[in-house]
Structure 1
Amino acid sequence: MEREAVFLVKCEENVYKLCQEVINKHSGELQKCFVVFISNPSRTIPLWRQRAGRDEDRLVIWDYHVIFLYHPEPEKCLVYDLDSELPFPTYVHKYVTETFRTDHILKPDYFRYFRVISAAEFLKDFASDRRHMKRPDGTWIKPPPNYPAISTPSNSHNLEEFIQMDTAKGPGQVYNLIQFVQKFYKPAT
């Protein structure tokens, strides 16, 4: 998928569109795909090499971020981040090294946590009515995309379940940075 082919709106909708593209063009690969919500209890996650960053390192502090992973074999995992200035896609080791760096240089309020959900589960369960894209007076912060908001038959908005990082609640599994790297980066031997 080309980075420019997707509306550059909220990252979760871009990733949802990537998942749909996998189903439409490579449905047999869906079981190798994952959606990763990155956040923390204080909603302050530093990410480097982001196109929205202003300094030399392109650092941004997001409240949350969402990426797509394609993990076809144990020693190969690709990250698709539509907001990164890194190549599209990027191998997970390069992405982690340049985007997350390490938690050792951060205060605990800035540690990143990763909610990993299978792409199939994300497509089935995720819903967002875009309320987080509006100002308190109900006007749009930026115009929404021209396609309908994402909903399921039973839910119109559950974004918060995906963003919060309580390991006992929500879909998928929550990892800290070290656990995330251990799960998705297996160097060739």
Structure 2
Amino acid sequence: MAKSLTSSESTVLTYEQCKAVTAPFYCEENVCNILKLALQAGAKIGDLFAVFVSSPDRLVPFREQKSTFKEKGGMCYWDYHVIPLILTSTRRNSEKTALVYDVDSVLPFPSSLQHYVTHSIPAPFHGMDYQQIHIKEFRHCFRVVNYGEVMTRFSSDRRHMLLPASHWREAGVPEYTSVPPPWPCFKPDASSHPHSLPLFLKMDAAMEDDLFKVNGELSQEEAPGELFCCVEDLFKFFDRLIVDPH
């Protein structure tokens, strides 16, 4: 079970608060809810981020997840995972640290970004640019998107969670691989595309299959945030933000 940080550190949200606004297997929507909750709790917009983790082939190994398969050496494989990251001040000093609030993890809650990545991503992939990894399906890439872009550009009609129509128990009544959350589907406004998730999961600009489609046409819309395919570059990005928030 996830644990809280020591009392000497100040957290924006507790595990219980975050768990109350999440639903299993809908990590991208869970992150939106957690970031909104953090904003309501007093966090600054500039300190809130969603980190989309995937690979060009949509297969990434993770450790220390609640869904970990013990028979596979404590490792599970996601097509993608999304984590909320909040720059948080500690009581011991005025400096901020990058904390991950992943309700799907069994690591301490929250965990520092360094601790989370070190223990969640199998060691062979640390310090390696994805082009150096011959097993291409295991290339961890990280798309970091700030709160503003998430809330204005992310949308999901949950089509990626639908079972094939042939598996529906009643004709015309959609069924999902996991029970949908009780809240409405995410959509910034009436004019937004109903499902922009593929754009956020675009981990290789050269892959045509990952291009965002609008009304069946390939879109030239730029993917949100910044893409990193090396954990050290991810660390450096947040280190710079902590030193110089502007």
What TM-score results when the alignment is normalised by the length of structure 2?
Answer: 0.69
Larger Rg: 1 or 2? 2
Deviation at 1:185, TM superposition (A): 4.9
1:83 matched to 2:111? The reply is no
The C-alpha deviation readout for 1:12-39, integer Å capped at 9, x for no partner, is 011010111123221x522111110001
Question: For residues 16-95 of structure 1, what are the structure 2 equivalents within 5 Å?
Answer: 16-26=32-42, 28-55=43-70, 58-72=74-88, 76-95=97-116
What is the Cα deviation at residue 61 of structure 1?
Answer: 0.6
The alignment status of 1:159 with 2:201, answered yes or no, reads no
Kindly indicate whether the alpha-carbon contact (under 8 Å) linking 2:22 and 2:33 is maintained by their aligned counterparts in 1.
Answer: no
The alignment yields a C-alpha RMSD, in angstroms, of: 2.5
Percent of residue pairs identical:
34
The letter for the 2-side match of 1:95 is Y
CA distance in structure 1 between the aligned counterparts of 2:103 and 2:70, rounded to whole angstroms: 19
Partner of 1:178: 232
Classify 1:109/1:143 alpha carbon distance in 2 versus 1 (closer, same or farther; 3 Å): closer
Runs of 4+ in structure 1 over 6 Å off: none
Counting matched residue pairs gives 187
Deviation at 1:7, TM superposition (A): 2.8
Q: 2:185 maps to which residue?
A: 149
Query: Aligned partners of 1:96, 1:20: CA distance in 2, in Å?
Result: 23
Opposite residue 100 of structure 1, the aligned amino acid is I
Partner of 2:175: 139
Contact 2:57 2:136 in 1 (8 A): no
Deviations 1:75-125 (A, max 9, x none): 611011111011111011111110114316962320100000001210121
CA distance in structure 2 between the partners assigned to 1:42 and 1:90 by the alignment: 27
Letter aligned with residue 39 of structure 2: I
CA distance in 1, matches of 2:76, 2:239: 24
Where does structure 2 lack aligned partners over 5 or more consecutive residues? 1-12, 90-94, 166-173, 207-221
- 2:34 and 2:63 map into 1 onto residues whose CA distance is 22
Distance 2:68 2:27 in 1: 15
Contact 1:67 1:80 in 2 (8 A): yes
